[in-house]
């Protein structure tokens, strides 16, 4: 599977890395969600996620859309092995959306945490910090 330039998949450590640039909008979220779902279908093995939003400078999302996508992912991942999704943020708006995602996936097999330190995210994901840089 050919991945978009902002998405990497490290099979050796079972980690998808998403690095959006500029604008995060519905099209960007739809793209990364589609890639995640394709990889889940192809690999059948669980993998964690790391979203590095430092190069994202604008967000054009509404809460209704975020709720819709979060609930879709929650249902699509039901019955699968647990995975972790670490969201590395510095932008205040992104912090709010990331925390909302965490709340909406609470109690599901997708564990979401928001980080402002890359080292803490690496420790939680149990990967070397160099792999997140």
| pLDDT score at 1 | 81
| pLDDT score at 22 | 93
CA gap 109, 112 in Å, rounded: 10
Q: For the whole model, what pTM was predicted?
A: 0.93
| pLDDT score at 81 | 94
| pLDDT score at 95 | 83
Contact criterion met (CB below 8 Å) for 57 and 24:
no
Beta bridge partners of 56: 22
Residues of the chain with pLDDT under 50: none
Helix axes 63-76, 92-105, angle to 10 degrees: 40
| pLDDT score at 54 | 92
CA gap 67, 57 in Å, rounded: 21
| pLDDT score at 98 | 87
């Amino acid at each position: 599977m050919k991945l978009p330039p902002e998405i990497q998949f490290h099979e050796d450590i079972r980690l998808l890395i998403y690095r959006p640039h500029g604008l995060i909008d519905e099209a960007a979220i739809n793209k990364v969600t589609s890639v995640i779902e394709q990889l889940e279908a192809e690999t059948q093995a669980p993998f964690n996620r790391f979203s590095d939003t430092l190069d994202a400078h604008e967000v054009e999302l509404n809460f209704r859309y975020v709720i819709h996508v979060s609930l879709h992912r929650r249902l699509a991942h039901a019955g699968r092995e647990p995975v972790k999704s670490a969201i590395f943020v510095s932008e205040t708006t992104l912090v709010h959306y990331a925390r909302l995602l965490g709340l909406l996936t609470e109690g599901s097999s997708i564990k979401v945490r928001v980080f402002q330190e890359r080292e803490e995210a690496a420790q939680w994901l149990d990967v070397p910090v160099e792999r997140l840089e």
